[in-house]
Amino acid sequence: MLQQNKQIAIIGGGPGGLTLAKLLQLQKANVKVYERDFDKNARIQGSPLDLHDESGLAAIRKAGLLTEFKNNFLPGADKTRITNEQAEIFFSDHELNQNENFGDEHFRPEIDRGALRKILLESLEPETVVWDSHFLSMEPQNDGWMLYFKNGNSVYADLVIGSDGANSKIRPYVTDIKAFYSGITMLEGTIYESAKAVPQIASLVNGGKIMAFGDTKNILMGQKGNGDLGFYASFKADKNWTSENGLDYTDNKQILNWFQNEYPEWSNIWHELFENASIPFVPRPINCMPLDQTWETIPNLTLIGDAAHVMPPFAGEGANMAMLDALELSEALTSESFASLQEAISSYETKMLQRASKAAQESLENGEKMHAKDALKTMLEFFQQH
C-alpha cells in the first residue's frame, strides 16, 4: 500500500486529526499526531457537536467506534426551541417523540466534544499523540519534511497532514489563499453549573438548544453533558470589531452593558447569561474560505478540516466535514487504485474541495437568513417543514 514504510505526521489533535489517525492505524499505517496542548486535560472543550449520518457518523462507523459513541452521546440534546428576543417560544420539538434512531439519515445525535475526543484518544495505539508539540515550521528533507516544534524537538515525516484548524500553520505550505470575513461575529460565553447559575435560562433550554432571533441579531446556545451551558451572541459587525471595540472580555459588567446597548429590544431574561458567564468571553469573527479555492497537489502534504476549508457554523458542518475528510483521505491513502501518493492525494483533494464548497455556500446563505430582519419567520418555516 502507498503508506507502507511511510512515517505519517498529523498536525493537530481535533476530531478530524484523531479520526484520521485511528482510520490509518486500522490499516497498519505508522502515524503520529502532534498536538500543541500540554496534555489531554489542558483545554476546556467547546459546545457539543451533532454528527451527521453521511459524514461524522460514517467515519465513526468505519473506525469501529459506534458502540462507544452510543454509550457517550447526549440523548435529547438535539431538542430545539426557537424564541423571539422576549424569550417567547415560537417552536419547540421537546414534546415530540425523540427516537434515537441510528441509521436514520435525519438523526443527528449530539455528543460533547470532550467525550468524542476521549473516545478517539482511547482507541489509538499508546503514544500515538505527542502532546506539547506546538508546530513552528518545516522544511523539505529527502522525499519528506523535517518538522520543528516550540519545545525544541524536530521530527522527520514522509507525509504531513495539516489538521490544525482555521489558523493553520501548515496551510501556507500548501496555498497562499486566505479566508475572508463573512460579516458576522459571535461572542462566546460559558456558564458552569447552569441550573444554579442561570435558572431561568436553564429552564428554557431544558437540556437542549435555543435559537433566539430578533432585529438581525441572535443568541444561540446549547446544553453540555456536564450541566454547563455554551452560548453565543451572534451579530453583523465590521471586520475590525474584535480588535477595535474597546471591550474588556474579562469584565462581566462591561459585557452586559454592551449587550444592553447593542440588543436594546431584548428581554432582561438574557442578562443572567452575561452576568454569570465564566470569563473571559471569546470573540469569534466568522470566516470562510473562497468557494472556488484550488491548489496544485503536493505529493507529501495535504490538509483536512478547517485547515482546508474553514466555513461559518450555520449548517453544522465543521466537525462533520473534518471527519469525512479523514475518512476519504484514509481510504485514498490505503487504496490499491492509485499509482502514487500524489495521485491519491489529488483524488482526495478534488472531491474534498468540491464537497466543502457546497457546504460553505449553504453555511453562508444560512448565516444571512439567520441575521436578516425576518429571521424568526424564516427559521420557523424551515423547522416546521422539517
| C-alpha span between 309 and 179 (Å, rounded) | 9
Q: Hey, CA dihedral for 187, 190, 196, 197, is it positive or negative?
A: negative
Question: Given phi > 0 = left and psi -120 to 50 = alpha, else beta, which region is 115?
Answer: alpha
* φ, ψ at 185 (rounded to 5°): -125, 145
User: Is 113 assigned to a binding site?
Assistant: yes
**Residue-level length of the chain:** 386
Q: Is 284 annotated as a binding residue?
A: no
d(CA 282, CA 230): 11
Burial 291-325 (b: 16+ CB within 10 A, else e): eebeeebbbbbbbbbbbbbbbbbbbbbbbbbbbbb
292 is known to lie in a ligand binding site? no
Tell whether 306 is in a known binding site.
yes
- What residue has cell string 468540491? 354
The answer to whether 89 and 218 are in contact (CB under 8 A) is no
**DSSP readout, 270-307?**
GHHHHHH-EEEEEEEEEEE--TT-----BTTEEE-THH
User: Could you tell me which residues are annotated as the binding site for NADPH?
Assistant: 43
User: Could you tell me which residues are annotated as the binding site for FAD?
Assistant: 50, 113, 306
User: Could you tell me which residues are annotated as the binding site?
Assistant: 43, 50, 113, 306
